[in-house]
Amino acid sequence: MTARRCPRCGEQYAPPARFCAKDGSPLIEGDAQDEGLAQLATLTGHVLDNRYQVANRLGEGGMSYVYQADDLETGRTVAVKILLPRLARDPASVERLRREATIATRMNHPNVCPILRLGESPDGLLYLVMPFLEGEPLSEHESRRGPFPVEDGIPLLVQVCHGLQHAHELQVIHRDLKPENVMLVPKRGRVGEEVTYRAVVMDFGLAKERRASPDMAKLTATGIVLGTPEFMSPEQIRGKPLDGRSDIYALGVLAFELFTGQLPFPGKSPQETMIARLKGNPTPLRQIRADLPPKLETVVARMLASDPNDRYSSMEELAFALEDVVRAGVLGRLFRR
């Protein structure tokens, strides 16, 4: 039987495995893949649904392929996320896609990427249309430049707080916050000025409404823990009910990595880091970078508290705490909407 692989981490599995043990992604066939996937992987140059002129492929995920495209009706450049054909035949996967669209179309904030349209082509391809953002994921930016100085990192984190506060006010938590899901969009300034960035939270595909209906609950009642292991809160690892404080924890892991280039918990594998989170305390921030402000270490430590009750109560409260690290909030307020 054909081996299967995780499209996110590349790990190989033998049938009948269906999901990656590391990150929960649905596995894809390692060779010829399932029916229709070869066509999906070579859509460049085609016109989707008589409207979207497909250009280059931007990426491949556990549920979809993402392409850059031109909207022939509006002339706008967009990103099109197309559900994998085998998942399009699965009612639960289709429901998750529709839920992502429903959630994201309600959002209207400069630090959140909205969904413009949910569509289905005549040949059965399900897709989401989003604005095309010129920039790069925070993960790639980190890899290129290394740990951030405080004066660059704090404004980005504050912007992420504002975007997630908007989502939380709509009763939505992200559940898969990580550097790959934060896009940095360059702000255009005068020639010679230092480049600054707008942080945009992407991919609410794992997002869950806090007031979930019984049908919603069934979508994740599969025994599969959704999310990325290195960034999951202890309560998410345990499969407990989640609220916005789980996103605060994930943002704490992201912040720790942003300033140090390392994760706050030791481990040679995602599973070991999960165990470390359930058993111990995170590495102190300044143990890795002694030049960082003590106040920043205190803020990040509170974000990473094992008990949700010991974390900040909201993204808004966290944003104020981060702003207070530098110049009594002056720097952070420059990056509000």
What CATH number was assigned to the domain covering residues 136-333? 1.10.510.10
Convert the pLDDT of each residue in 102-127 to its tens digit.
777 888 999 999 888 888 888 778 88
Indicate whether 64 pLDDT > 60.
Answer: yes
pLDDT of residue 38: 62
Catalytic residue among 70, 71, 90, 176: 176
More confident residue, 76 or 274: 76
User: Is beta strand 126-131 parallel, antiparallel or unpaired with respect to 77-83?
Assistant: antiparallel
Specify the range with the lowest mean pLDDT, choosing from 23-32, 128-137, 245-254: 23-32
Percent of the chain with pLDDT over 90: 43
Q: What are the structure tokens assigned to 218, written together?
A: 């069934």
Indicate whether 304 pLDDT > 90.
Answer: yes
Per-domain boundaries in the chain: 1-33, 34-131, 136-333
- CB-based burial of residue 268 (10 Å sphere; 0-12 exposed, 13-18 middle, 19+ buried)? exposed
* Distance of alpha carbon 309 from alpha carbon 168, whole angstroms: 17
Per-residue pLDDT band for 253 (boundaries 50, 70, 90) equals very high
Q: What are the structure tokens assigned to 133, written together?
A: 């953002």
Convert the pLDDT of each residue in 221-240 to its tens digit.
333 345 567 888 899 888 88
Per-residue pLDDT band for 208 (boundaries 50, 70, 90) equals low
More confident residue, 296 or 266: 296
pLDDT of residue 98: 78
Convert the pLDDT of each residue in 325-335 to its tens digit.
986 444 444 44
Strand order from edge to edge, sheet including 182-187 = 136-137, 182-187, 196-201
pLDDT of residue 137: 92
Judge if 34-131 and 136-333 fold alike in CATH terms.
no
pLDDT of residue 280: 67
More confident residue, 295 or 280: 295
Per-residue pLDDT band for 213 (boundaries 50, 70, 90) equals very low
Convert the pLDDT of each residue in 18-56 to its tens digit.
667 766 666 666 543 455 556 666 788 999 999 999 999
What CATH number was assigned to the domain covering residues 34-131? 3.30.200.20
Indicate whether 9 pLDDT > 70.
Answer: no
Instruction: Give yes or no: 310 in active site.
Output: no
